[in-house]
Chains A and B, each alone.
Chain A
Amino acid sequence: MARYLIRRTGEAAVLILVVSFVAFLLVYMAPGGPAVLLDPNMTPEDAALMKNLMGLDEPFHVQYWRWLAAIAQGDLGLSLSVRLPVYDIIRQQLPNTMVLAAASLVVAVTISVPLGVIAAAKRNSIVDQAVALLSSFGLAVPAFWFGLLLVIAFSLKLEWLPAGGMATDGDGSFWDVARHLVLPTLVLATSNMAQLTRHTRSAMLTVLREDYVRTARAKGVSETVAIYRHALRNALVPVLSVIGLLLPQLFGGAAVTETVFSWPGIGQLAVRAAFERDYPMIMGVAMVTSVIVILASLMVDLLYAWIDPRISVAGR
């Protein structure tokens, strides 16, 4: 276990380093340079001076190491569009994204796991087929379209829920935020729900074929006990690793969902920064989300290995 822990942690560290290199390389290779250098009123001499001041005329490795050293200390630079430290803006908006992502994950797990279990238990029944149909819909539906349809139905026509934002002006109580959270959570959870249901179902089917489940049945335990006592606990272990794989999509999907619902999180921040060619902001969001997802996946993996010791012995 200790060796597995060290190896997985090392892998995560290397991955973070590689991601930082890719993020920097993208910006380094981009044509035109930062938005301030695109100012048409700037003379070539001014542009050269600007480049010199910003350290952009130094060799690649010098610039990269300086940037890396800065972000290691939490300094993500100044946003080019709002002239505030990127770190402060991200820290301000990150909790909003975390709330949305956490709510979606909770909703996805509480709906998908029971659905997957029922589908597997009643294999090939009408229930199973309905679940399969629903999850194929969930995988195919474009999040932004689903979001717009929900807004048209529940905000514009029925007027039950707010169409966007995180709180009503002057309010901001728990229930107010919760009401704003409903639609974005549903949209962000949809694709994850579909995938998680399919994985839970196939994990259950695999476990139900195992010898110990057959033994339990032969022993005469009821079907309910065989499924819920013996099979479910073991089927949940692989489901846990799938949740780790869904985390990147959860954050990536936040960019679209937050834009549809004007949810003030870092996904929306990244999209806006992309339009404004706000380099430090784009790199900051990409780095922060990557680090969060990589660390969260690492925790899921270690938890997985702790629950199922076969993993750390066999490696991957």
Chain B
Amino acid sequence: MSASAIEEAPLPPSSGRSPGSRAWVRFRNNRIAVLALVLLALINIAAVLAPVLSPYPPNAVSLRERLQPPSVKHPLGTDENGRDMLSRLLYGARISLAVGIAAVVFAVFLGALVGGAAGFVEGMTDSVLMRVTDGMLSVPIFFFMITTLALFGATLTNIILVIGVTSWMSVARIVRGEVLRNREMPFVEAARSLGAGPFHILFRHVLPQSWPAIIVSATLGIGWAILMESSLSFLGLGVQPPDSSWGNMLSKARGYMWNAPLLAFIPGFAIFLTVLLCNWLGDGLRDALDPTGT
């Protein structure tokens, strides 16, 4: 696994009894991860409360107030149509976060399905599914993403599907590994001897074992998905105006780099910060849930 300074921090003595409480103690002692969790929670709350927190409707055009610098009236200034930047940023957060989370939920579902099937049904199925997984990682998939969105339309559903379909591979590998590791364990043997079918064993006995690894992968995946959505929106093949997402806000700000550099700076910084926090949280969770670092 990739390493970071966080991962190498000395582990504090674990005092709790259950693995869960020991993981919590380790997590609590990781300052960067706790900071990331708190800030991400605040960003999510701000997104949920956007209608309450926004000083103006996000699409309220006011041509007299175009490209204004930050002021008491507009804390982050206004864009090229005189729309309030703070309001658009908050509403943009809703879309960017929702797309990121929905895409990852979909990716985890797909990954669990592929990885579970590959681990459970050995032989041909396994080797074909794993070749597909490897194959997905060895072609420039971004071109297929823009192709799909151009041909089928850049609707929110399509964006979520496209990002989900292209980011399930790490979950599939994790689940397959866990299934292979656990399938011969006594508790699976016991369930099988009691007459449990493969689906029951997969979802009730084997998958729960993989949750820590899946949660880590999903947390890192949300950052990746937000980055993907913003890249697509920046190119104009993602979230479509007048809806605001962090990526498409930046796309239009390109034309005003000289007069209003803040217009490009703010949404990009929001993306950067959110993705960074997701990655830090993911790294922290990995260290807490899986101290051996496998």
Chain A interface residues (CB < 8 Å from chain B): 11, 15, 18-19, 22-23, 26-27, 30-31, 123-124, 128-129, 132-133, 135-137, 139-146, 148-149, 151-152, 156, 195, 198-199, 201-202, 205, 244-245, 247-249, 251-253, 255-256, 259, 270-271, 273-275, 277, 279, 282-283, 285-286, 289-290, 293-294, 297
CA gap between A4 and B152 in the complex, in Å = 40
Of the stretches B79-87, B198-206, B273-281, the one at the interface is B273-281
Q: What are the residues of chain A within 8 A of B146 when measuring CB–CB?
A: 255, 270-271, 274, 282
Cα A23 to Cα B280 in complex, Å, equals 36
Name the prevailing secondary structure of the A interface residues. Answer: helix
Task: Determine if B268 is an interface residue (Cβ-Cβ < 8 Å).
Answer: yes
Question: Restricting to B123-163, which residues have a CB under 8 Å from any CB of A?
Answer: 131, 135, 137-144, 146-153
Residue of B nearest to A273 (CB): B150
Q: What B residues does A123 contact at CB under 8 A?
A: 8
User: Which of B16-24, B111-119, B230-238 contacts its partner?
Assistant: B230-238
B235 touches A259 (CB 8 A): yes
**What's the Cα separation between A144 and B231 when bound, in Å?**
7
User: How far, in angstroms, from A7 to B1 measured CA to CA in the complex?
Assistant: 27
| B6 sits at the interface (CB 8 A) | yes
Please tell me if the beta carbons of B151 and A277 are within 8 angstroms of each other in the complex.
yes
Neighbour of A289 across the interface among B140, B230, B269, CB < 8 A? B140
Give every chain B residue within 8 A of A293 (Cβ-Cβ): 138-140
Partner of B139, one of A156, A270, A290: A290
* Chain B residues with CB below 8 A from A205, complex form: 3
Shortest distance from the beta carbon of B282 to any chain A beta carbon, whole Å: 10
Shortest CB-to-CB span from A101 to chain B, Å, is 11
Interface, chain B (partner A; CB < 8 A)? 1-6, 8, 131, 135, 137-144, 146-153, 223, 227, 230-231, 234-237, 247, 250, 253-254, 257-258, 261, 264-265, 267-269, 271-272, 275-276, 279-280, 283
A-B contact pairs, 17 of them (CB 8 A): A23-B147, A123-B8, A132-B3, A140-B223, A142-B247, A144-B250, A148-B253, A148-B257, A151-B257, A199-B2, A202-B1, A249-B142, A251-B142, A251-B143, A252-B140, A282-B151, A283-B147
Query: Which of B2, B237, B257, B258 has most A Cβ within 10 Å?
Result: B2
CB contacts (< 8 Å) of A151 on chain B: these are 257
Nearest-CB residue, chain B, relative to A197: B2
CB distance from A49 to the nearest CB of B (A): 23
B217–chain A nearest beta-carbon distance, Å: 15
Q: Which of A26, A144, A195, A199 has the most CB of B within 10 A?
A: A144
Closest chain A residue, CB of each to CB of B144: A286
The answer, among A124, A279, A294, for a CB contact under 8 Å with B138, is A294
* A270 in contact with B143 (CB, 8 Å): yes
Q: Are B141 and A248 in contact (CB under 8 A)?
A: yes
A286 contacts which of B143, B236, B275 (Cβ < 8 Å)? B143
- Measured between beta carbons, the chain B residues less than 8 angstroms from A142 are 227, 230-231, 234, 247, 250, 268, 271-272, 275
- Besides A15-B138, A142-B227, A286-B144, 18 more A-B contacts (Cβ < 8 Å) are A30-B151, A124-B5, A135-B4, A139-B279, A140-B227, A144-B230, A145-B267, A148-B254, A148-B257, A149-B265, A195-B2, A205-B3, A248-B138, A275-B237, A277-B151, A282-B143, A282-B146, A282-B150
Shortest beta-carbon distance, B77 to chain A, in Å?
16
The complex places the Cα of A19 from the Cα of B143 at a distance, in Å, of: 12
Residues on the B chain within 8 Å of A149, using CB: 264-265, 268
Q: How far is the CA of A252 from the CA of B283 in the complex (A)?
A: 25
Report the Cα distance A140→B283, complex, angstroms. 13
A11 with B147: CB separation less than 8 A: no
* Pair B2/A136 contact, Cβ less than 8 Å: no
**How near does chain A come to B120, taking the closest CB pair, in angstroms?**
20
B69 vs chain A, min Cβ distance (A): 16
Closest Cβ neighbor of B273 among chain A residues? A140
> What's the nearest-Cβ distance from chain A to residue B278, in Å?
8
Given contacts A132-B6, A142-B271, contact A248 B140 (CB under 8 A): yes
A155 to chain B, nearest CB (A): 9
Determine the chain B residues whose CB is within 8 A of the CB of A137 once the complex forms.
276
Complex: how many Å from CA A19 to CA B153?
21
Which residues of chain A have C-beta atoms less than 8 A from B144's C-beta? 22-23, 26, 286
- Are A251 and B140 within 8 A (Cβ)? yes
Contact A140 B149 (CB under 8 A): no
